[in-house]
């Protein structure tokens, strides 16, 4: 038993690494091919659009990956992000200091997710049922409360997602891009890309990847997801681990919601359609096994970037965005096939 | 043989593409009826009156009347605006009393209950904006049978359940306003893209088809580049609009938003890309969602109708019906400050040209 546990991490790391390389190759190929067709696709302006507008999906996919690795799923995440964004915007409009307009939704997100986690962990209700219920409650509740009225008139400083890295050091005025010093002007395109959502995406991905790989708590998620009974016999309690998983997921969902809310000038107070599917797709294509137990968040972030890039590429090559759904489906199938192939190679096919 | 046929077909397609102005993507294939370029009324196929008749009503011509207005729901900016228009008209006329009452959620069963209660209580007329055109019909027919006049506005019922319907905008009218404003803002020989919900959404497809026909007739040099679909999703609309801006660069001078989601998202994309003043955004949208962009000067014209005028016209139409001035077969009706409104589609009153919200008036509206 102890041998299996000791062996498991190394094997999983190699597994997911190859999925990550696959995604990197996919992203590179896409940029080269579409870039050749229309060079504007790889212009820094378009790269910024792709990263900036989708970083929140990658952040939410980190939490989703943790949940799926633990052997669960959350389909309420899209609705929760919609609700939290409205709460955040409403607080800012009501004159609450912006820090609290950002922080309160994150706290609510953690609490809501822990509630769901408790139902899954202690009452042993399947997570798909719990989160389906939450999805309906949030979706219906949001429309009833807001009547579909959009939220606008947030103060400028609320728009965290519009801050650039340089704003922190040079200009104290958010939203207005700081002037790049003469000596650094060659690096300007890079600074343009380093907006808050992109920085959040980078640091949260690396932080979560480190936590999942190198800490006992992070490893326990894999253990519970791989085999809850075996994990219990090793002294890893399923219940407490799941509570932690959902709390972590709540944290990332809350942060994603803040990035989502602070980007536009107007918050559409309805639930973003199909957002949960896009987030789950990013996790699965990132190499997280839907059966639990394997996968990393670096993969899910790369997958989120790939999906966003495909969406943009479709317009550059004049293909209807409806193919984006089809493309996501193909990505999922390719991922699963690649996974089966790799398992076969190692003689692990089930 | 097969290949030569294919080549022939391909050649023919390319030729036809060059010979005729290509129809814009996202439009439907129904016949179009573009309005004249100069702002005339255009031709309208004549249609016999297809509304219902009221039975057993007391002649109150010129006498005070009491009306009830039951909108889809109360407490939202849009219907607050129609209510204001109704009160304005009632005040002007002096012999009309209007009460607005209705459900707090847009639910048809609640709306039916409200109308039923007012029939029992006794009113001279019911004004409604239907939550469902078919489900509301029985209670409206009940009102007609008890001598209560029934006039619709904003959202129609089946024609046989009401006398008249005040129609806020026709497809060709919206199309003309959109294209005229775009051409005014970007110039006659510039290029633009369209952000719509889906290629098959009925209203949007109709508008795009009418816009395409009107532009071919009145602004032939205006160049359409591409229509992208964005469903009714704020983020997707923003992404699609941004990608259009990135794809065409300097070539693109304007974006048209076909939904109340796509238009603000397009304005957001132009703002974020620092292209305000270089790329114009013209579109259908509600004023509240557009206020930030109109205030910043990034957007100059938002096309829609004016709900205050809509409510105002509904009361004038009801007064005209009670006074016997608006009967089956009429071609127009006087509506106070709005002037003569024309009768279209048998039993509908057309509110007139769409309303363009701009910096000077947008803050007077809250919906």
Give chain B as a 3 state SS string. CHHHHHHHHHHHHHHHHHHCCCCCCCCCCCCCCCCCCCCCCCCCCCCCCCCCCCCCCCCCCCCCEEEEEECCCCCCHHHHHHHHHHHHHHHHHCCEEEEECCCCCCCHHHHHHHHHHHHHHCCCEEEECCCCCCCCHHHHHHHHHCCCEEEEECCCCCHHHCCEEEECCCHHHHHHHHHHHHHHHHCCCCEEEEEECCCCCHHHHHHHHHHHHHHHHHCCCCEEEEEEECCCCHHHHHHHHHHHHHHHHHHEEEEEECCCCHHHHHHHHHHHCCCCCCCEEEEECCHHHHHHHHHCCCCCEEEECCHHHHHHHHHHHHHHHHCCCCCCCCCEEECHHHCEEEEECCCEEECCCCEEECCCCHHHCCC
Instruction: List, in order, residues 6 or more apart from A92 with CB less than 8 Å away.
Output: A98, A101, A154, A155, A158
The domains of chain A are located at: 2-345
State phi, psi for B218 to the nearest 5 degrees: -110, -25
The answer for B227, left when phi > 0, alpha when psi is -120 to 50, beta otherwise, is: beta
| CATH level 2 (architecture), domain B65-169+306-352 | 3-Layer(aba) Sandwich (3.40)
CB contact under 8 A, A266 and B231: no
- The two beta strands, B348-350 and B340-344, are antiparallel
Q: What is the pLDDT of residue A271?
A: 74
The rounded mean pLDDT for chain B is: 88
Q: Say if residues A302 and A58 touch (Cβ distance below 8 Å).
A: no
Is the pLDDT confidence value at B22 over 70? no
Which residues of B touch chain A, with CB atoms under 8 Å apart?
Answer: 73, 75-77, 105, 199, 226, 228-236, 238-240, 242-244, 246-247, 249, 261, 264-265, 268, 271-273, 288-289, 291-293
Give A93→chain B minimum CA distance, Å: 14
Nearest CA in chain A to B245: A46
CB contact under 8 A, A49 and B240: no
State the ipTM, two decimals.
0.80
The CA–CA distances, whole Å, from B281 to A140, B300, B310 equal 32, 8, 26
Least CB-CB distance to A320: which of B229, B243, B292? B229
B29 confidence band (pLDDT: 50, 70, 90): confident
B231 confidence band (pLDDT: 50, 70, 90): confident
Q: What is the pLDDT of residue B45?
A: 66
Nearest CA in chain B to A51: B239
Is the pLDDT confidence value at B115 over 80? yes
Report how far residue B85's alpha carbon sits from residue B129's, in angstroms, rounded to the nearest whole number.
14
Task: Tokens for A103, please give them.
Answer: 């922080």
Q: What is the pLDDT of residue A168?
A: 62
Measured between beta carbons, the chain B residues lying within 8 angstroms of A272 are 233-235
Measured between beta carbons, the chain B residues lying within 8 angstroms of A43 are 246
Q: What is the pLDDT of residue B18?
A: 37
Q: What is the pLDDT of residue A294?
A: 85
Is the pLDDT confidence value at B346 over 90? no
Give B91→chain A minimum CA distance, Å: 30
- The two beta strands, A151-152 and A266-267, are antiparallel
Per-residue pLDDT of chain A (350 residues; tens, 9 = 90+): 344 444 444 455 454 447 888 899 999 999 999 999 999 999 888 998 899 888 999 999 999 999 999 999 999 999 999 999 999 999 999 999 999 999 999 999 999 999 999 999 999 999 999 999 999 899 888 877 876 678 888 888 898 877 776 666 655 454 455 555 666 666 666 777 788 899 999 999 999 999 999 999 999 999 999 888 899 898 899 999 999 999 999 999 999 999 999 988 888 877 777 899 999 999 999 989 888 888 889 999 999 999 999 989 988 988 876 777 788 888 888 888 887 777 777 665 44
Using a CB–CB cutoff of 8 Å, tell me whether A147 touches chain B.
yes
> Which of A52, A58, A175, A266 has the most B C-beta neighbours within 10 Å, making it the best mutation to test the interface with B?
A266
Measured between beta carbons, the chain A residues lying within 8 angstroms of B76 are 147, 149
Give A116→chain B minimum CA distance, Å: 27
Using a CB–CB cutoff of 8 Å, tell me whether A312 touches chain B.
yes
Measured between beta carbons, the chain B residues lying within 8 angstroms of A312 are 239, 243, 246
Q: Say if residues B310 and B154 touch (Cβ distance below 8 Å).
A: yes
Least CB-CB distance to B288: which of A38, A144, A150? A150
> Which of B193, B229, B246 has the most A C-beta neighbours within 10 Å, making it the best mutation to test the interface with A?
B246
Using a CB–CB cutoff of 8 Å, tell me whether A183 touches chain B.
no
Least CB-CB distance to A53: which of B232, B242, B291? B242
- From the list A61, A69, A89, A92, the residue with the least C-alpha distance to A253 is A61
Is the pLDDT confidence value at B163 over 90? yes
Higher pLDDT, A256 or B344: A256
CB contact under 8 A, B242 and A49: yes
Least CB-CB distance to A315: which of B247, B265, B268? B247
Using a CB–CB cutoff of 8 Å, tell me whether A316 touches chain B.
yes
- What is the 3-state secondary structure of chain A? CHHHHHHHHHHHHHHHHHHHHHHHHHHHHHHHHHHHHCHHHHCHHHHHHHHHHHHHHHHHHHHHHHHHHCCCCCCCHHHHHHHHHHHHHHHHHCCCCHHHHHHHHHHHHHHHHHHHHHHHHCCCCCHHHHHHHHHHHHHHHHHHHHCCCCEECCCHHHCHHHCEHHHHHCCCCCCCCCCCCHHHHHHHHHHHHCEHHHHHHHHHHHHHHHHHHHCHHHHHHHHHHHCHHHHHHCCCCHHHHHHHHHHHHHHHHHHHHHHHHCCCCEECCCCCCCHHHHHHHHHHHCCCCCCCCCCCHHHHHHHHHHHHHHHHHHHHCCCCCHHHHHHHHHHHHHHHHHHHHHHHHCCCCC
Q: What is the CATH number of domain A2-345?
A: 1.10.3470
- From the list B269, B270, B307, the residue with the least C-alpha distance to B288 is B307
Report how far residue A45's alpha carbon sits from residue A58's, in angstroms, rounded to the nearest whole number.
20
Give A316→chain B minimum CA distance, Å: 6
Q: Say if residues A54 and B257 touch (Cβ distance below 8 Å).
A: no
Per-residue b/e over B38-52, b at no fewer than 16 CB within 10 Å? eeeeeeeeeeebebb
Report how far residue B15's alpha carbon sits from residue B31's, in angstroms, rounded to the nearest whole number.
23
For the full predicted model, state whether its pTM sits above 0.95.
Answer: no
Report how far residue A216's alpha carbon sits from residue A236's, in angstroms, rounded to the nearest whole number.
10
Report how far residue B265's alpha carbon sits from residue A72's, in angstroms, rounded to the nearest whole number.
35
Angle at A79 (CA atoms; ends A76, A84), nearest 5 degrees: 115
CB contact under 8 A, A320 and B291: no
B76 confidence band (pLDDT: 50, 70, 90): confident
- How many Å separate Cα B137 from the centre of its chain? 22
- From the list A229, A246, A226, A248, the residue with the least C-alpha distance to A237 is A229
Overall average pLDDT of the B140-154 stretch: 95
Overall average pLDDT of the B267-292 stretch: 91
Q: Which of A327-341, B200-214, B329-343 has the lowest mean pLDDT?
A: A327-341
Measured between beta carbons, the chain A residues lying within 8 angstroms of B73 are 147
Least CB-CB distance to B238: which of A45, A153, A264? A264
Nearest CA in chain A to B238: A53
Sign of the torsion formed by the C-alpha atoms of A313, A55, A126 and A85: negative
Report how far residue B151's alpha carbon sits from residue B319's, in angstroms, rounded to the nearest whole number.
10
Overall average pLDDT of the B203-219 stretch: 93
Using a CB–CB cutoff of 8 Å, tell me whether A169 touches chain B.
no
Nearest CA in chain B to A317: B247
Report how far residue B306's alpha carbon sits from residue B291's, in angstroms, rounded to the nearest whole number.
16
Query: What percent of chain B is predicted at pLDDT more than 70?
Result: 92
Give B327→chain A minimum CA distance, Å: 38
Q: What is the CATH number of domain B23-41+171-304?
A: 3.40.50.2300
Using a CB–CB cutoff of 8 Å, tell me whether A53 touches chain B.
yes
The domains of chain B are located at: 23-41+171-304, 65-169+306-352
Q: Do domains B23-41+171-304 and B65-169+306-352 have the same CATH topology?
A: yes
State phi, psi for B335 to the nearest 5 degrees: -135, 65
């Amino acid at each position: 038993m102890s041998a299996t546990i000791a062996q498991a991490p190394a094997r999983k790391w190699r597994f997911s690494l190859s999925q990550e390389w696959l995604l990197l190759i996919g992203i590179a190929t896409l940029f080269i091919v579409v870039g050749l067709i229309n060079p504007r696709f790889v212009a820094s302006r378009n790269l910024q659009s792709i990263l900036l507008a989708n970083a929140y999906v990658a952040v939410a996919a980190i939490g989703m990956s943790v949940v799926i690795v633990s052997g669960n799923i959350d389909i309420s995440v899209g609705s929760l992000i919609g609700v939290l964004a409205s709460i955040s915007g409403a607080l800012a409009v009501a004159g609450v200091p912006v820090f609290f307009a950002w922080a309160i939704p994150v706290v609510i997100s953690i609490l809501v997710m822990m509630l769901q986690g408790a139902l899954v962990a202690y009452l042993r209700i399947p997570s798909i049922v719990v989160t389906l219920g939450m999805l309906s409650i949030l979706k219906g509740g949001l429309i009833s409360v807001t009547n579909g009225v959009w939220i606008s008139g947030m103060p400028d400083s609320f728009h965290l997602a519009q801050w650039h890295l340089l704003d922190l050091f040079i200009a104290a005025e958010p939203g207005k891009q700081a002037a790049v010093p003469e000596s650094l002007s060659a690096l300007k395109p890079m600074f343009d890309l380093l907006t808050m959502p992109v920085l959040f995406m980078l640091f949260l991905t690396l932080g979560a990847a480190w936590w999942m790989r190198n800490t006992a708590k992070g490893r326990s998620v894999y253990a519970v997801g791989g085999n809850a009974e075996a994990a219990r016999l090793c002294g890893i309690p399923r219940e407490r681990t799941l509570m932690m998983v959902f709390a972590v997921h709540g944290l990332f969902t809350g942060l994603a919601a803040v990035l989502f809310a602070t980007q536009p000038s107007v918050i559409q107070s309805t639930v973003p359609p199909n957002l949960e599917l896009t987030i789950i797709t990013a996790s699965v294509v990132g190499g997280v096994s839907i059966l639990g137990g394997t996968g990393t968040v670096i993969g899910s972030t790369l997958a989120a970037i790939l999906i966003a890039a495909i969406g943009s590429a479709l317009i550059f090559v004049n293909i209807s965005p409806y193919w984006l759904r089809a493309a996501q489906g193909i990505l999922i199938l390719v991922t699963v096939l690649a996974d089966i192939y790799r398992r076969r190679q190692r003689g692990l096919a089930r | 043989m097969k290949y030569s046929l294919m080549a022939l077909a391909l050649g023919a397609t390319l030729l036809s593409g060059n010979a005729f102005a290509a129809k814009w993507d996202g439009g439907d294939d129904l016949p179009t009826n573009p309005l004249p370029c100069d702002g005339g009324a255009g031709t309208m196929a004549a249609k016999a009156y297809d509304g219902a008749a009221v039975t057993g009503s007391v002649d109150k011509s010129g006498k005070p009347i009491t009306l009830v207005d039951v909108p889809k729901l109360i407490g939202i900016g849009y219907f607050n605006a129609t209510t204001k228009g109704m009160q304005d008209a009632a005040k002007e006329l002096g012999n009309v009393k209007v009460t607005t009452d209705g459900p707090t959620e847009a639910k048809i069963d609640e709306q039916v209950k409200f109308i039923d209660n007012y029939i029992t209580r006794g009113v001279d007329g019911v004004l409604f904006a239907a939550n469902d055109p078919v489900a509301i019909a029985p209670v409206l027919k009940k009102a007609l049978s008890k001598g209560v006049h029934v006039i619709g506005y904003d959202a129609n019922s089946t024609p046989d359940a009401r006398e008249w319907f005040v129609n806020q905008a026709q497809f060709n009218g919206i199309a003309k306003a959109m294209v005229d404003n775009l051409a005014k803002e970007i110039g006659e020989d510039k290029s633009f893209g369209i952000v719509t919900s889906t290629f098959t959404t009925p209203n949007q497809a109709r508008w795009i088809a009418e816009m395409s026909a009107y532009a071919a007739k009145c602004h032939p040099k205006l160049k359409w580049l591409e229509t992208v679909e964005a469903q009714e999703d704020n983020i997707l609309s923003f992404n699609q609009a941004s990608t259009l801006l990135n794809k065409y660069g300097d070539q693109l001078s304007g974006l048209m938003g076909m939904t109340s989601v796509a238009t603000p998202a397009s304005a957001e994309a132009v703002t974020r890309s620092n292209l305000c003043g270089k790329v114009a955004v013209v579109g259908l949208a509600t004023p509240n969602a557009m206020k930030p962009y109109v205030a910043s000067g990034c957007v100059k014209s938002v096309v829609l109708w004016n709900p205050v005028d809509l409510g105002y016209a509904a009361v004038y139409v009801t007064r005209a019906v009670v006074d016997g001035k608006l009967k089956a077969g009429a071609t127009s009706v006087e509506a106070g400050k709005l002037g003569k409104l024309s009768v279209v589609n048998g039993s509908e009153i057309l509110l007139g040209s769409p309303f363009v919200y701009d910096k000077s008036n947008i803050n007077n509206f809250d919906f």
